[in-house]
Amino acid sequence: MKTAKFSKGKAASTTMSSTIMSPGPSAVSATKPLGPCQVGDSVIFVASYPQANSVQIAGDFNNWQPEKTVMRKAGDGTWQVRVPLVKGTYHYRFIVDGHWQQDPYNDATEPNPYGGVNSVVKVD
């Protein structure tokens, strides 16, 4: 199992400054980090889905209820949400227009009991 690790106040994700191919059919230019990034006592989740109408996140931190954590779309096609999290390891998935999937911007994953893969983030 690979786990994304953070040090308090430091980002572990990579900033993309060139054109990248998003999970959607078009390319987007991003200058902010994509993936999970710990900032203080929260984790900011950022993903690029320029064609999506709705992006939510579900995980152990919200009892796997996506309606509790709705991501907001920015003008550049990225979606983000800040989730307050205490020290620990968390499993999560994105729900993009009703389809559950792992975070394409986080290499830390673990198989789930349903034959899929959950993304994993560790908060220090």
Query: Average of pLDDT values for 35-39?
Result: 96
Q: What is the pLDDT of residue 49?
A: 97
The more confident residue out of 32 and 42 is 42
Q: Which fold has domain 4-106+117-121?
A: Immunoglobulin-like (2.60.40)
Domains in the chain: boundaries:
4-106+117-121
Strands (E), the chain: 4-5, 14-15, 19-21, 27-29, 33-39, 42-48, 55-59, 72-73, 78-84, 88-96, 99-101, 109-111, 117-123
pLDDT at 24 over 60: no
What is the reported pLDDT for 4? 47
